[in-house]
Amino acid sequence: MASSESANTELTVTGYIQHHLQNLTYGKLPAGYQRHEAGGVHTLEQDTWTFAHSAEEAKDMGFMAVHVDTLGWSIFLGLVFAFVFGRAAKKASIETPKGMQSFIEFVFEGISKVVNDTFHFKSNFVGPLALTIFCWVFLMNLMDLIPVDWLPLAAAKLVGNDHLYFKVVPTTDPNATMGMAISVFILMIFFSCREKGVWGFVKELTCHPFFAPKEKWYLNILLIPINTILETVSLLAKPVSLGLRLFGNMYAGEVIFILIAITFGVGFFVGILGGVMQWVWAVFHILVILIQAFVFMVLTIVYMGMAFDSHDEQH
């Protein structure tokens, strides 16, 4: 849907915004479901896996629906990262680095310094994890700088559907950000159990932050449930805050780009003002893109450090 179509009426503006915020969703609609199409209402005779034609259909597809655009772009950008860094590694030389090798060494050294300053344990896993997270999240965030209509319009023309839903910024989808956050959370649990043992991990949840001395052991009957509640809430809050922080910042930035794009359909002078606003916001948003990737990486390193850290129990 082009931005020039979006400023005639309030309904059109609303539809334009909703269209750009809706993912390309593939899922199952049950038998008997009534689909509202251009030719009228069509009733499905059997369970059907299909692409959603509206936000309502995407919602009705339920939990098992897949956001094809989010998965496609995130996987594609992950492959781009792997290809570029892998190619640079193969061509790396001990001579003075040039071009892409110099840039990649700059990124690698910067992330290595952050890891060394933040993570004080021995691990061959955390460093590569931090590098992958930063570069992958940064590339996904970077898609936000592409004008909001370009890729959706190209995809719509390619498939012959002018109303195709197509979001190109994976980190504006909470499914992507929460998926990454939950993956980090699973790694936290795994390394906590590996480094401290399952019993040691359980003790962390039940013996902190309050624990009575041995001579008053009976107080732990009350303290252990309180500790468990506090530590469990704190533990579960980590992936939630990690995923929602990234999603919230990127989603807000995407909405502002969409609102600015609406001005291009209002008139010549307003369109010029919109171009200036878009440029200013893009320059500012570069910082947001970089900072959010950095914050996600740093928090991941901190959480991994907490997983490796073993409290010295004195009881």
Are the beta carbons of 288 and 253 closer than 8 angstroms? yes
Instruction: Return the structure tokens found at 24.
Output: 């390309």
Q: Classify residue 17 by burial, with Cβ atoms within 10 Å: 0-12, 13-18, 19+.
A: middle
| Residue 241 a catalytic site member | yes
Are the beta carbons of 193 and 254 closer than 8 angstroms? no
Are the beta carbons of 62 and 27 closer than 8 angstroms? yes
Q: Which of the residues 4, 54, 245, 310 is marked catalytic?
A: 245
| Residue 249 a catalytic site member | yes
Instruction: Return the structure tokens found at 48.
Output: 């059907």
> Which has the closest alpha carbon to 293: 179, 132, 178?
132
21: left (phi over 0), alpha (psi -120 to 50) or beta: alpha
Instruction: Return the structure tokens found at 224.
Output: 């252990």
| Residue 102 a catalytic site member | no
Q: Tokens 């969703």 appear where? A: 25
The Cα–Cα gap between 152 and 165 comes to 7
Output b/e per residue, 52-75; b: 16+ Cβ within 10 A.
bbbeebbebbeeebebbbbbebbe
The Cα–Cα gap between 250 and 244 comes to 10
Instruction: Return the structure tokens found at 286.
Output: 């570069």
The Cα–Cα gap between 99 and 81 comes to 16
Task: Compute the Cα dihedral for 28, 32, 35, 38 and give only its sign.
Answer: positive
The neighbour count for residue 222, using CB atoms within 10 Å, is 11
The catalytic site residues sit at 241, 245, 249
